[in-house]
Amino acid sequence: MPATREVRIGSVKLGADNPFVLIAGPCSIESEQSALRHARALKDITRRLGVSFVYKASYDKANRTSIDSFRGPGLKKGLKILKSIREKLGIPVLSDVHCKKDVREAAKVLDMIQIPAFLSRQTDLIVAAAETGKAVNVKKGQFLAPWDMRHIIKKIEASGNKNIVLTERGTSFGYNNLVSDFRSVLIMKDLGYPVVYDATHSVQMPGGLGDRSGGEKRFIPYLSMAAVACGVNGIFVEVHEDPEKALSDGPNMIKLDELEAMLMKLKRVERACQTSGR
């Protein structure tokens, strides 16, 4: 199994020989109370199971299907909420950044800056994120081959930043559909950096419901187990207390109260692979 660098996200160690890390939270910040409630519940679950955890929520979903779709509270208010969660709960926080001009402010709060899949080739945005020195998580574009991520790595390394994480989130497969090719996990790990599997966006059906995305959430646990068996360093899942009422990406989020059982299965898969030498 390819070895990777160890990347620090606040107090969390991702990669190398560390157990898989969970990156999780609701798709977007719906309110301060909701964000804090989800973060506290996730911290409790992961603490019970001994799983390292990074909280994720978007302050601005800038790539929604419809102009009328909910986007979140915006940069200023969203970062204030994430800062509050970070300080009150003592957990690292992550959010996606869509504009170069937002990077400096975001870096004051975030432990990890995420580059969205659709922007994974936007050089100026990637370089700006790299120059902050923060850990940078780049989601592989649905249109990219895994070996092409080496070019993105070079853009980040050019700034002297080697706190890099790559995320697999499915590949375009016809219209409104994605497919997961788990060869990507091994191919990207060969590039030397930790790889995360985004289990919820991999089951997304972009624009599948006309003015919004659909999804097939029932496959999330199975794809997550396959990713862990392939040696992924982290699992990214979006969760919600009630996905049917979520303001964004409900069809491809799992219920918060289903997460613990899924994580227990993932831990068993990881232990079994370690015992067998994978």
- In this predicted structure, the answer to whether residue 21 has a pLDDT above a threshold of 60 is yes
| Residue environment code for 54-74, b if the CB has 16+ CB neighbours within 10 A, otherwise e | bbbbbbbbbebeeeeeebbbe
- In this predicted structure, the answer to whether residue 3 has a pLDDT above a threshold of 90 is no
**Phi/psi of residue 138, nearest 5 degrees:** -105, 120
Which pLDDT value is given to residue 213?
A: 67
Instruction: Give the model confidence (pLDDT) of 120-140 as tens digits.
Output: 999 999 999 999 999 999 999
Instruction: Give the model confidence (pLDDT) of 244-259 as tens digits.
Output: 998 887 888 999 999 9
Which pLDDT value is given to residue 150?
A: 97
Which pLDDT value is given to residue 276?
A: 76
More confident site: 223 or 212: 223
> By the 8 A CB rule, do 92 and 7 touch?
no
Instruction: Give the model confidence (pLDDT) of 164-194 as tens digits.
Output: 999 999 999 988 889 999 999 999 999 999 9
Which pLDDT value is given to residue 28?
A: 94
Mean pLDDT, rounded, for 198-212 = 77
Domains of the chain, by residue range, sit at 6-276
Instruction: Give the model confidence (pLDDT) of 89-113 as tens digits.
Output: 999 999 999 999 999 999 999 999 9
Angle separating helix axes 149-157 and 123-131, nearest 10 degrees: 40
- In this predicted structure, the answer to whether residue 115 has a pLDDT above a threshold of 80 is yes
How far apart are alpha carbons 67 and 44 in whole angstroms? Answer: 36
Tokens of 210: 């006309």
Which pLDDT value is given to residue 62?
A: 77
Q: Average pLDDT of the chain?
A: 93
Q: List the one residue out of 133, 137, 228 whose CA is nearest residue 180.
A: 228
Which pLDDT value is given to residue 176?
A: 82
> By the 8 A CB rule, do 193 and 15 touch?
yes
Mean pLDDT, rounded, for 4-21 = 96
How far apart are alpha carbons 243 and 239 in whole angstroms? Answer: 8
> By the 8 A CB rule, do 94 and 112 touch?
yes
**pTM (two decimals):** 0.94
Mean pLDDT, rounded, for 227-231 = 97
| Class of the CATH domain delimited by 6-276 | alpha beta
Share of the chain above pLDDT 90, in %: 82
